[in-house]
Chains A and B, each alone.
Chain A
Amino acid sequence: MSGIIKIFLIGLGLGSVGAAVVASYLPFVNLQREPSLISVQPNGGAVETFFINLPDDRIVDAASEAMQSGALLFLESLDHHNINAKAELFKVRNQNNKVIGIGSRLSSSNESTSQFVEWTVHFPARGTIYAKMHLNPGPDRLRSGQLVAGTRDFKGLSGSVTEEVFPHPSKKHTTAFQIHLKTVLTGPLGDSKSNM
């Protein structure tokens, strides 16, 4: 009888220790990663460009044909504020045309405090960049801006972000565009040597 109890107790120990080992080493979340396609500028800035194919990559109402249709308009009357803001959500791709993240673009042309255009681009395996853009694009349709904050891999970085829209040939859609989001990021803020 005592032999059976001993074997049971050994099994009990093995079971609980084994479960603890499995729980410690088994990855419950395993994020898929795509290679980061970064080039380095002579001045030290790391350049990376992200792509958004429209209308396919628009998350909400991806079936719409026209570039601006499908954007969410925030038309709700908020107390006495008269607002006209637009929220857009996109899938974001790398140079290999692989979806690697999600981007939200908020803009308002009728804001009482300040008009704005800004991006938040979230990469599950890397982190997030938060950038605010100049309101009016340049003559070559290039809208420039700057990184406000970054998280995880982008934490402490500073630099510029540009947004440019190009016509993009598509077999599926009569009208298609591609947004190029180009980031030029440098070392941690306050690190004067790496920013020079």
Chain B
Amino acid sequence: MLAGIFVGIFLFLQAIYLNPLTGRDAVSPLTLSPHQMLELHFSTALDDNRLISAQEKNRTVPPTPTTVEFSEPTLRDTTVFLSILKNTTGHAAGLGIKMLSKSETTSLIKGAAIANSIWHIYLPASGTIMIDQTENYWAYIRDIVIPAHLASDKSWQGTFHRITTTGPKPQGTANVSGGNGLFENLNTSASESLTVARYLAGTGPVTMDGSLKIVIPNSFTTTN
């Protein structure tokens, strides 16, 4: 009986882990959009972040990882990420602050490791925007984090590319609200993707690049 229970639990976990219907989106729903697309890239590599403290201008801030975590009970499942955003040619295009919280809608049986995240973005000479999105990190956990922890050298290496944005818009895209500058009154869609090449179980992703695609409606570009 006990052996049957253990095998049953194991089979259930295998079914969840190997379920081909969850977390496989690698193509953005915005790909077919007829509108102009603003593409921004960010990296976790420290060298790519050139934020300078007002007090110590020679010091890179934050001094260690760009992701900040908290000890307060209400912020226990929340992280903040600061990054210089780059355009498609690799030049710095702006500054992005991402605030991400795990969501209570996370469900193992649905293959949903859900997070609510906000991007607060400033693009010089263009303006500011806020991106509100729901993200699913199940594919990232299943394809990278778990294999890295199971590997003998506690690392993962390969090619991983997924769209993490799953909402809150019905078509699975993020909600973009324009703030100041040329983006004032902008209301559009966006999606975020993640590309990982190397992950260490102890420290997290070593090489990870993120990409934000923001739809700029044709009517908006002509009137602004």
List chain A positions with a Cβ less than 8 A from chain B: 7-20, 23-24, 26-34, 59-61, 64, 68-76, 78-79, 81, 83, 85-87, 89, 91, 98-102, 104, 106, 108, 111-114, 116, 118, 120, 122, 124-125, 127-128, 130, 132, 148-149, 151-152
Contacts and interface: CB of A to CB of B under 8 A. Distances in A.
B5 interface: yes
Given A23-B107, A26-B108, 19 more contacts: A9-B4, A11-B3, A15-B7, A15-B8, A16-B8, A16-B11, A19-B9, A28-B108, A32-B76, A73-B51, A74-B95, A76-B92, A87-B95, A91-B70, A106-B95, A113-B125, A113-B126, A116-B127, A124-B116
A120 B120 contact: yes
B61 interface: yes
A23 B109 contact: yes
B158 to A, nearest CB: 26
A132 to B, nearest CB: 5
A149 B128 CA distance: 13
B41 interface: no
B91 interface: yes
Interface of B: 1-13, 16, 50-55, 57, 61-62, 68, 70, 72-78, 80, 82, 84, 91-95, 97, 99, 101-104, 106-109, 116, 118, 120, 122, 124-128, 130, 132, 168, 175, 177-182, 184
Contacts of A87: 51, 82, 95, 97, 122
Contacts of B180: 111, 113-114, 116, 118, 132
A103 B101 CA distance: 13
A149 B130 contact: yes
Contacts of B109: 20, 23-24
B61 A61 contact: yes
> Interface on chain B toward A: helix, strand, loop, or mixed SS?
mixed
Contacts of B57: 75
Given A15-B9, A24-B107, A125 B74 contact: yes
B80 A70 contact: no
B124 A100 contact: no
Contacts of A149: 130, 132, 175, 177
- The 10 lowest CB-CB distance pairs between A and B, nearest first, are A11-B4, A15-B8, A124-B101, A149-B177, A15-B5, A113-B181, A116-B180, A16-B8, A19-B12, A8-B4
B4 A15 contact: yes
Nearest to A108: B122
